Amino acid sequence: MTEGNFVDYVKIHVSSGNGGKGSAHLHREKYVAKGGPDGGDGGRGGHVILRGNKNLWTLFHLKFKRHVKAGHGEHGSKQRSTGADGQDEIIDVPLGTVIRDTETQEVLHEITEDGQEIVVAEGGKGGLGNWHFKSSTNQTPRYAQPGIPGEEHDVTLELKILADVGLVGFPNAGKSTLLSVITAAKPKIADYEFTTLKPNLGIVEYRDFKTFVVADIPGIIEGAAEGKGIGHRFLRHIERNSTLLFLIPADAKDIKKQYEILLDELRRYNPEMLDKDRLIAISKSDMLDSELKAEIKKELDGSLGAPYIFISSVAQQGLTELKDKLWEMLNKETV
């Protein structure tokens, strides 16, 4: 998927259908005198429904569809005939879509399962026909109920990527390179910051045909939680990852400080992120000789509060150990 096709935030206006009017018809037939009321009920207005679809990864198909309107219910007719229900409008969305009220920003629903359906605008109920109102004292009611109008809402759809592992790091830390090496994904890679402008997903093939999903999140900088850089736009995608893989380059001036800055940005955005399992990968470690590695180990041991390993995507070093460790963390409850 190209970066331009990745859309994770849209606002739409939804309108459900009006219910049909009930009929006030009186039965008329050549050989039936005073046939009485036989007006049918109106049909229900159509719902606007959001449905989870595991084959979708983006909200791009809604980028240019800002108004969604369901069909109106048909009116009732003679011989107690009920009007047809209005046509439902079903919108497929990717798993991980959060539905908010645009005005209040209240979270209304979340879609996390394939085929899960949420009614965001309920169709109006059809009115009752006059035959419902006949009685011993009112044998020919000449009135029926009108249909109930449909609903109108402005809703915001916000996609939070569902992945097992989220890659977290500063720009140019080597996240895209790592993703391209351990998965079949083809993210944009270049020697400048903010190469990745949209999240990328890749599937890691593990032993015995097992797999897990890794998401490369655009680079975070200090102050991202306040809106600096572009990382703040994608911090929500990390919320759904069960394990966070922090990537810090071996040539960083202070590895521990970089890790603490990244951790602080996640904490300021959402403190619950610190409850996730964390693993630190020191990338570009092919630049280090054994003496430098020993010096870094001495400095980091016991000071990070999370395990760390040395890797090199280009030299293919430490990648098997990395996969093993991630798999163990993802399946620690079942191992």
Spatial neighbors of 104 by CB under 8 A, at least 6 apart, are none
- Strand bridging mode 48-52 / 89-93: parallel
286 is known to lie in a ligand binding site: yes
219 annotated as ligand-binding: yes
Residue 183: which residues within 8 A CB-CB, separation 6 or more?
202, 203, 204, 205, 214
Instruction: Write down the residue that tokens 């001495």 correspond to.
Output: 298
User: Is residue 195 annotated as involved in ligand binding?
Assistant: yes
Please tell me whether 172 is known to bind a ligand: yes
The answer to whether the annotation marks 173 as part of a ligand binding site is yes
Q: Which residue has the tokens 């169709």?
A: 123
Instruction: Determine if residue 202 is labeled as part of a ligand binding site.
Output: no
Check the annotation: does 162 bind a ligand. Answer: no
Helix (H) and strand (E) counts for the chain?
4, 14
Is 251 assigned to a binding site? no
Tell whether residue 285 is among the known ligand binding residues. yes
90 labelled ligand-binding:
no
Residue 277 counted as an annotated binding residue: no
Q: Structure tokens of 37?
A: 């009321």
Bridge partners (DSSP) of residue 68 are 14
Q: Is 200 annotated as a binding residue?
A: no
Given the structure tokens 């609903």, which residue do they identify?
151
| Dist CA 124 CA 151 (whole Å) | 7
Tokens of 103: 């005005």
Is residue 196 marked as binding? yes
- Of 306, 292, 286, 273, residue with least CA distance to 177: 286
> Of 255, 90, 58, nearest to 157 (Cα)?
58
SS3 breakdown of the chain: % helix, strand, coil, rounded to 5? 25, 25, 50
5 is in an annotated binding site: no
218 is in an annotated binding site: yes
Does 197 carry a binding-site annotation? yes
The number of CA neighbours under 13 Å toward the Cβ of 276 is 26
Is residue 148 part of an annotated ligand binding site?
Answer: no
324 is in an annotated binding site: no
- Tokens 């040539």 — which residue? 251
Annotated binding site for Mg(2+): 176, 196
Annotated binding-site ranges for GTP: 169-176, 194-198, 216-219, 283-286, 312-314
Q: Which residues are annotated as a binding site?
A: 169-176, 194-198, 216-219, 283-286, 312-314
